[in-house]
Structure 1
């Protein structure tokens, strides 16, 4: 069963690692995508309602 919910600050580190793993072995390689996401989260217009995580149970 998979549950989807809004991201929580406690998820940030896990998501950062996932983003890194998703890009590291691509043809273009890792280009600081996780850092970009972290920067976007600091923007005053950021709304965590639009960022979700899927959890497999």
Structure 2
């Protein structure tokens, strides 16, 4: 971590990931953003649906 260029590269990647949290919160409006399913498979499906919608919005812009 003493290499300045490497730290910048890591920081850029982290900022890209963190920047997705805001649109995901805005997109996940149904049931006030709560995970409503009890079974892990259903929770996973709900999460993947949010990921697909988020990716569609990112690609659109």
Given the two structures, how large is their TM-score scaled by the length of structure 1? Answer: 0.32
Report the structure, 1 or 2, having the larger helix content.
2
Greater relative contact order (Cα < 8 A, sep 6+): 1
Given the two structures, how large is their TM-score scaled by the length of structure 2? Answer: 0.30
Report the structure, 1 or 2, having the larger strand content.
1
